[in-house]
Amino acid sequence: MKIYTGTGDKGTSALFTGERRPKTDVVFDALGTVDELTSVIAMALAQIDLYSNKSVHFGYNLKELCDQLDSIQRRLQALSSSVATPIPSSSGPDAPEQRRARFKHVNFPEDASKELEAWIDAMTEVLPPLRQFILPSGGTPGTTLHFARSICRRAESSIRHYPGDELGRGAGKGGGTGGTIRDAGGAFGKRQASHEEEYFHRKEREQLHILRQRLEEEMQYRRDEIKKHEEAIRRHEKLINELEERK
């Protein structure tokens, strides 16, 4: 099946309903931003996988973190489906039945935030108290998760601009879920960054220890060489003195 039509789209795109709208419609801004967020989470997952392949231990279960991020991706896909399936207008003779059928297929769980909030609480418990604004930092996975958090802020805003009458009941609260996902992304990023920072500080200490050992070995080698040269000089001086005495 080809993914292109070859006929041009005349500046429009189709929704799940078959309806075509201009690409400037708010629905495509919301869909594009949620898709961008899902892709950046995928980047973070790939980076975490690289760390796990290097047997890097951050002090917590990387698989659990990856499972949580995967779950968030799936929720975002469900949210995209809801956004891409606008509900028919409430006017018209068939509207009530159409809206009920559409709601059934694109309803987004209204309690979707509860599990995310539990994850945030669990991660917050092991992090030091937040007493000031923080700069996104840490290794690549941590900073990527901070990047995802900032995109999530934009996704939440774009969904809020979507006409509320066209969203499913749960998707209508998708912006609130987006806020919880954003908070989760921040907690993920801070936790990942804190462990990465600890890991890299440990690596720096190990590297400094190795460097210090090598410098000490080099200094000892030079001292031994100097000692050998001094002994050679003394032997030559002794030999010269013996030759002069024989004369």
pLDDT-derived band at 37, boundaries 50, 70, 90: very high
User: Is there a domain that residue 31 lies in?
Assistant: yes
In a domain, 119, yes or no: yes
Q: What is the dihedral of CA 221, 223, 225, 230, to 10 degrees?
A: -170
Tell me whether residue 214 is in a domain: no
In this prediction, residues 72-82 reach a mean pLDDT of: 85
Give me the mean pLDDT over the 17-25 stretch.
86
- Whether residue 19 lies inside any domain: the answer is yes
CATH number of domain containing 164: 1.20.1200.10
Residue 124 vs residue 105, higher pLDDT: 124
* pTM score: 0.63
143 near 18, Cβ under 8 Å?
A: no
Buried/exposed 26-54: b ≥16 CB within 10 Å, e otherwise: bbbbbbebbeebbebbeebbebbeebeee
Any domain includes 178: yes
H or E element that contains 74: helix 62-83
Average pLDDT over residues 174-179: 46
Q: Convert the pLDDT of each residue in 108-140 to its tens digit.
A: 666 667 777 888 787 777 666 666 666 666 678
Structure token pair of residue 151: 């995109």
C-alpha 70: how far from chain center: 12
Total domains present in the chain: 1
CA separation for the pair 30, 158 (Å, rounded): 5
Span 45-71, mean pLDDT?
74
Sequential DSSP letters for 147-184:
HHHHHHHHHHHHHHTS-GGGS-TTGGGHHHHHHHHHHH
3-state secondary structure of 21: strand
**Left, alpha or beta for 167 (phi > 0: left; psi -120 to 50: alpha)?**
beta
Most confidently modeled range among 118-127, 211-220, 221-230: 221-230
Q: Mean pLDDT of all residues in the chain?
A: 74
Using the CB atoms, write b or e for 148-179: b if 16+ within 10 Å: bbbbbbbbbebbeebeeebbbebbbbbbebbb
Q: What is the pLDDT of residue 42?
A: 94
Mean pLDDT of 53-80: 76
Q: pLDDT confidence of 59, banded at 50, 70, 90?
A: low
pLDDT tens across 193-202, in order? 555 555 555 5
| Residue 67 forms part of a structural domain | yes
Q: Could you tell me if 211 and 148 are in contact, meaning their C-beta atoms sit under 8 angstroms apart? A: no
- The first and second tokens of residue 182, run together, are 């954003």
Domain that holds residue 160: 12-205
What integer pLDDT is reported at residue 243 of this predicted model? 81
How far is Cα 152 from Cα 137, in angstroms, rounded to an integer? 18
The verdict on residue 18 lying in a domain is yes
Q: Which residue has the higher pLDDT, 110 or 22?
A: 22
Kindly provide the b/e burial profile for residues 211-222, where b requires at least 16 CB atoms within 10 angstroms of the residue's own CB.
Answer: eeeeeeeeeeee
173 lies in some domain: yes
Give the residue among 120, 110, 124 at the shortest CA–CA distance from 176.
Answer: 110
pLDDT of residue 167: 60
Tokens of 190: 């801070």
